[in-house]
Amino acid sequence: MKRSIIKLFFVGGLLAFSAVNAQSTEKTLTKEQIEAKKKAAAEEKAKLPKPYHPEANAELDIQNAVKLAKKTHKNVIIQAGGNWCIWCLRFNNYVQQTPELKKVVDDNYVYYHLNWSPENKNEKIFASYGNPGEKFGYPVFIVLDENGKQIHTQDSSVLEEGSGYSLEKVKKFFTTWKPKKS
């Protein structure tokens, strides 16, 4: 009986060790796999629209977005990021290519892409919104009401699903922060 228990623990330990070891080797990528992933990401990035403009006067653009929002009784969504950011480009493309999301955005928001890149970090603008990119990374979303008051900052990572975004989570984000119609 004692020997059976010892054998059972030994076999159980071996199985546990094998399972842990198998999981760690599955997650380890070869240099070739890493390079292939980088190449695929670069090819994807090259095909996606580039909505960020480092040369833009972001302060003036946001003032104009707020004026339009006030006139049309919409909120402003500021999508902060850059053309260097695959997740920023994916989000923009996802919203533009998903009719259900595009309608919610077009009906309720004035949309602005606030650039953050080595060419133009827009430090003054980012500081005025609490530097959310430092906390959450990119993209990060800043929601303003029609008067330009910051009412929400959204971490985009909670909207992700796989190598893209969740329709349900993104739609909930947009519908939660749309203007309250009276």
Alpha-carbon distances, residue 60 vs 56, 82, 143 (angstroms):
9, 18, 17
Token pair of 40 as six digits? 């695929």
pLDDT at 15: 45
Write out pLDDT tens, residues 165-174.
Answer: 999 999 999 9
Residues in CB range of 97: below 8 A, 6 or more apart: none
Residue 84 confidence (pLDDT) above 80: yes
pLDDT one-digit tens code per residue, 10-32 = 444 444 444 444 444 457 899 99
Count of Cβ atoms closer than 10 Å to residue 77 Cβ: 25
What tokens were used for 88?
């920023």
Is 88 exposed, middle or buried, given 0-12, 13-18 or 19+ CB atoms closer than 10 A? Answer: buried
Question: Per-residue pLDDT averaged across 65-72, rounded?
Answer: 98
Instruction: State the average pLDDT for the chain.
Output: 89
Token look-up 């349900």 returns 168
Please answer whether residues 20 and 12 qualify as being in contact, where contact means their C-beta atoms are separated by less than 8 angstroms: no
Q: What is the pTM of this model?
A: 0.82
What's residue 120's pLDDT?
97
